[in-house]
Amino acid sequence: MLYRTEGIVLKSIEYEEADKIVTIYSKNFGKIQAIAKGVRKTKSKFGSSLEILTYAIFLIYKGRNVDIISQTEILESFFSTSREVLKFALAANCVEIVNKLTEEREINIGLFNLLKEVLHYLKKTNDPKLLTLSFRWQVMSILGYKPSLHHCCRCDKTINDQKEMYFNIKEGGVICNNCISKNKEGCIQISLYFLKLSRKLLITPLSVISKATIPDIRIKELEKITNLFLTYYSEKRFKTETFLKSLKKD
């Protein structure tokens, strides 16, 4: 049986002499693993369509033990060259997050569209860190880990603008001053700017965020909380983070 779907290549690894095993996040079937026969031969019909970060239409044969990629048609190659190293590394991080946080064959069209959008706008944005941090918050929200940013995690009281604001990763959001006065354990002090920004990032389309920029000091605070939140709830470590950290040192 043949099936057809749009998809984005999350991972591509060499297999035997001339084949590749490709992990695709598809619109209609969720995450798929399939083999491409003879793809590493000089005259392969697949060209660059099975490289990481490629958005394409895939025609796939449903095999007994493993699916086989029959044909491909590139719709958009997000980073055919890696001249912009930071953007390429951030794009690779986005696909690694989706790969590690999803199970095979679990359909999530919202997540597929979000991944496609972040890769598309990453090529154009002037603030790639802001865009990809926004992507992380929205991924966690789609997967059921939306932080509580309007009500206290402990007492459910509405959070108003306060001089001192606190965020608790394990409890999943902001803590009001009354609850903080009783117990500050595990709480991180945050700025009012961070609270207002994170509220906006969760509901603003990436197309809009891609046109915005924020000061470096604000990016650092956002990055710190985002990474702690993602690591805690995903229970994953991401290999691309090591490369991103090495870029900061250069």
pTM to 2 decimal places: 0.94
Residue boundaries of the structural domains of the chain: 1-77, 83-250
CA nearest neighbour of 223 among 175, 190, 186: 190
Kindly report, residue by residue over 8-60, the tens digit of the pLDDT.
999 999 998 889 999 999 999 999 999 999 887 766 778 889 999 999 999 99
Query: Looking at residue 250, what is its pLDDT?
Result: 54
- Residue 126 CA: distances (Å) to CA of 109, 113, 195, 201: 27, 21, 23, 16
CATH topology for 1-77?
A: OB fold (Dihydrolipoamide Acetyltransferase, E2P) (2.40.50)
Tell me the per-residue pLDDT of 77-109, one tens digit each, with 9 for 90 and over. 886 555 688 999 999 999 999 999 999 999 999
- Which residues have C-beta within 8 Å of that of residue 203, sequence separation ≥ 6? none
> For residues 85 and 248, what is the distance between their CA atoms, to the nearest angstrom?
12
Q: Which residues are 220's β-sheet partners?
A: none
Q: What dotted CATH number matches 83-250?
A: 1.20.1440.120
Handedness of CA 180, 182, 184, 186 (dihedral sign): negative
